[in-house]
Structure 1
């Protein structure tokens, strides 16, 4: 069972944490700007709905792959509170740093959406809401499944030390699962998978319709995936201490 580390508030004063927070803000900002911007573009340009959904899905897939790659070495390129939670329950990040990442990601999302609103002359920001005929429970379950698949992919391709031939492909494969999930569920729940992705547009637009769904679903899905993968599929070999090897 992975042990969750609490950490210390003093982490925020450490250079590596400061660098990580700066990079996490930048890559999350880029992701939200491109992701929300692509959705705004499809609403501005009249066209086929299937083509529009594919356009948004591909935009998210590409920007996720690029921004994870850009942030991987310094912040991990989480971009997403659900990803941070999934890594927290697996023991890969402390509680304190997770909270700092959450604040960072939400601020980056709000900044990106506010800038988009300004640059587009106040064009309406597309807010994640449930499609007609879908109730809250269905929306939560949909987001749980989508985010579970996202975190399972993150663990399998980026975290698992025995990823083998997948090594180096993690950012691209994570981007592809995001794009595929948007194609599959974008017309139903909006396929957020990311509370920060939903929070920025909701705050700037002042529209909180169904917003709680995009916190509860992704956080449950991300937490479950991290818990299950870390404890059932990752095998960590024991490295003996020097005294066990009698090499001192």
Structure 2
């Protein structure tokens, strides 16, 4: 996800670059700075960006504990995400979400070799962000809000509705990401704003059904910090299924000629 074209779309896994010298091209070894910028720097950006996003999200939830409504967490998550995408978009794509990374990778927006490192960096960042939120929050408020972890699903009967809600909300989010920031035919410079707004809207819409997570990393870090694992799998299964649905739609119907696998 980037304002113009994410560097994650330009990554190559090969170990050599082609360099023109006069009329003759030759192969040159990849420099250390190139390896850093193409592989290490993006993962560091994903880790830091996810840490900051989770920190803001958790602190907003803890601060909203005991209050009615979800406007504060919705605005905090959406605004923080939009700004962080603008800041880190040209380095890593500004995914900050394993479901988004999976969707972007399968839609051709980044090399599959970077999928696992990105997800690992995001999970590490989420733990750091949740730990920082715990450190700055009053212990009583932190406990009452479960540290910003998702505790909306209280009964086994509500699990199905929460999973479907997470799937559909993530479908909307990843569709905006792919069509607004990856697909060449529809990408826009307003992608960070659109992504932040859709996250805000989704949280407002589904806060009392599933909590409006849409992001396994956002669920994982707070679960570790607060030791709250009840129904945690919902926030992996729902977002991943939503991301895969978006991949199917983009690859089959809505992608540009380069992205579609049929009807080229």
Which interval holds the TM-score relative to the shorter structure? 0.7 to 0.9
Paired residue secondary structure (2:247)? helix
Partner of 1:111: 128
Q: Does residue 246 of structure 2 align to residue 225 of structure 1? A: yes
Structure-2 separation of matches of 1:228 and 1:237? 14
Paired residue secondary structure (1:73)? helix
Mark the CA change 1:115 to 1:138 in structure 2 (over 3 Å): closer, same or farther: same
Q: 2:115 aligns with which of 92, 98, 110?
A: 98
On the 8 A contact 1:27/1:67 being kept in 2, the answer is yes
Partner of 2:217: 196
Structure-2 separation of matches of 1:115 and 1:86? 29
Mark the CA change 1:9 to 1:127 in structure 2 (over 3 Å): closer, same or farther: farther
Structure-2 separation of matches of 1:170 and 1:26? 20
Partner of 2:47: 25
TM-score normalised by structure 1 residue count: 0.84
Structure-2 separation of matches of 1:37 and 1:104? 21
Partner of 2:192: 171
Paired residue secondary structure (1:235)? coil
- Cα offset, 1:27, TM superposition: 1.1
Structure-2 separation of matches of 1:132 and 1:113? 22
1:110-189 aligned within 5 A: 110-122=127-139, 123-124=142-143, 125-132=147-154, 134-163=157-186, 167-189=188-210
On the 8 A contact 1:130/1:210 being kept in 2, the answer is no
On the 8 A contact 2:123/2:220 being kept in 1, the answer is yes
Mark the CA change 1:78 to 1:40 in structure 2 (over 3 Å): closer, same or farther: same
Which is strand-richer, 1 or 2?
Answer: 2
Mark the CA change 1:42 to 1:9 in structure 2 (over 3 Å): closer, same or farther: farther
Q: Does residue 58 of structure 2 align to residue 36 of structure 1? A: yes
Structure-2 separation of matches of 1:22 and 1:62? 21
Structure 2, unmatched stretches of 5+, are 1-11, 16-29, 260-264
Mark the CA change 1:237 to 1:115 in structure 2 (over 3 Å): closer, same or farther: closer
Structure-1 separation of matches of 2:14 and 2:59? 35
Q: 1:56 aligns with which of 36, 50, 73?
A: 73
Paired residue secondary structure (2:91)? coil
Mark the CA change 1:161 to 1:9 in structure 2 (over 3 Å): closer, same or farther: closer
RMSD: 2.2
The total of aligned residue pairs comes to 224
Partner of 2:237: 216
